[in-house]
Amino acid sequence: MKILFITLVDFRSIDDKNLYADLMREFAKKGHDVFIVSPFESRFKIEKEMIIEKTAGSEKQSTILKVKIGNIQKTNIIEKGISTILVEYQILAAVKKHFKDIRFDLVLYSTPPITIVKPISFIRKRDKAKTFLMLKDIFPQNAIDLGMLTTTGLKGILSKMFRNKEKKLYQISDYIGCMSQANVDFLLKHNPQIAENKVSICPNGIEVLESMPDEDRKKELRKKYGLSTDKTVFVYGGNLGKPQGIPFIIECLKQEANNEEAEFLIVGSGTEFEKLNAYIKENSPANVRLLSALPKEDYEQLVSACDVGLIFLDYRFTIPNFPSRLLSYMQSRIPVLAATDKATDIGKIIEQGNFGLSCSSDDVKQFSHCIERFVKSDNLKKLGENGYQYLLENYTVSNVYASIVEVL
């Protein structure tokens, strides 16, 4: 098949290490022709519009089309808004120009964003291609849950506009792959117009790295990053924004400030980073370390030197999120503590798979109880190994590939 993948992820090479690059390599290894449309913001310099390369294990060439768009990040709200609106028109123009003689069999795309309907509709109609949405978040409801959008007033108008775009995206999608059963249930309940037989489970998945640091290397990494070698180290890595419920994280750190057996490492960036940083600067908790985002390889190595991975989701969410950072913890063979809302089933999966614990993200005492259970446990390695085996059985890139092709 000829596969067209449309994304807002900044692809520079099919050999990048992320969820989508891993999946595109899997398609290439299975003998498919892979074409990727990926934008770059005008503030960056890109030397080539078209990148053609091969991936290891495949004789097929992969093509990445870089599309110049306006600035969306690190800019003012007006430019961001205009740039976001224009993206689908710019992608459509680039596809028409560069892929006019190519006929695609399958169009893959993910949310976010929901604003790429036009190029998908064009290829679907022109090529009679199948369309497959990998549903990674449910917008605008997630923004409404956090108060970033409302159902009334000016923000209510925006909510309705985005909701109409969301419905249109579902309409033009022949298949919709959800990350978990909770996502499937939510989608069908709130969108009765969607036929049940077009919705399936398409989880997050990675190309699993088999080589991990040995115990001596783990001790070196702890010393390098100023971590204790005799405490249970809990690590959070990823976005630090409103979805993570930073006020709850701060309350948890306050509760654990005098815990001499636990240490907390937080690695990431985002709109709420400074709020967390301000708390740490003002209170200087001895058992907390905050680091800015690290290169992916360095981050993966550091996670493997820790004892327990943390997941935080704001308690106000009514949509079932399923953060991909879970996979890094599982790959590193460390158990997981998930503090989440009641809508997601990620905590349920963690506990049923016997590789961690879960609690509500509006209950600090419950969180502290889980911390204590991990600190006193002599079974962390076994829990971590359970998580690794669960990853191999459910969340590899091969699983994701199979979940897509088997429904086509």
Residue 210 has pLDDT above 80, yes or no: no
The stretch 175-202 carries a mean pLDDT of 96
CA 105 – CA 102 distance, rounded (Å): 10
Residue 71 has pLDDT above 80, yes or no: no
The DSSP annotation for 273-323 comes to HHHHHHHHHHH--TTEEEEE---HHHHHHHHHTSSEEEEE--TT--S----
| pLDDT at res. 54 | 74
Asked if 232 and 263 count as a contact pair (C-beta separation under 8 A), the reply is yes
CA 388 – CA 378 distance, rounded (Å): 18
Average pLDDT of the chain to the nearest whole number? 92
Distances in Å between the Cα of 232 and the Cα atoms of 92, 160, 215, 303 are: 51, 47, 15, 13
Asked if 232 and 337 count as a contact pair (C-beta separation under 8 A), the reply is no
| pLDDT at res. 77 | 61
Judge residue 351's burial from the number of C-beta atoms within 10 Å of its C-beta, 0-12 exposed, 13-18 middle, 19 or more buried.
middle
Question: How far from chain centre, in Å, is Cα 304?
Answer: 19
Residue intervals in the chain for CATH 3.40.50.2000: 2-206+396-405, 215-394
pLDDT band at 46 (very low <50, low <70, confident <90, very high): low
Superfamily of domain 2-206+396-405 in CATH is Glycogen Phosphorylase B; (3.40.50.2000)
Q: Compute the chain's Rg from CA coordinates.
A: 22
Q: What is the pLDDT of residues 242-289, one digit of tens each?
A: 999 999 999 999 999 999 999 999 999 988 999 999 999 999 999 999
Residue 309 has pLDDT above 70, yes or no: yes
- Eight-state DSSP code of residue 197: G
The tokens for 203 are 């989880």
CA 20 – CA 7 distance, rounded (Å): 9
| pLDDT at res. 261 | 96
Query: What is the phi-psi region of residue 147: left when phi exceeds 0, alpha when psi lies from -120 to 50, beta otherwise?
Result: left
Asked if 239 and 269 count as a contact pair (C-beta separation under 8 A), the reply is yes
The tokens for 140 are 């605008």
pLDDT band at 74 (very low <50, low <70, confident <90, very high): low
Q: Write down the CATH number for the domain with range 215-394.
A: 3.40.50.2000
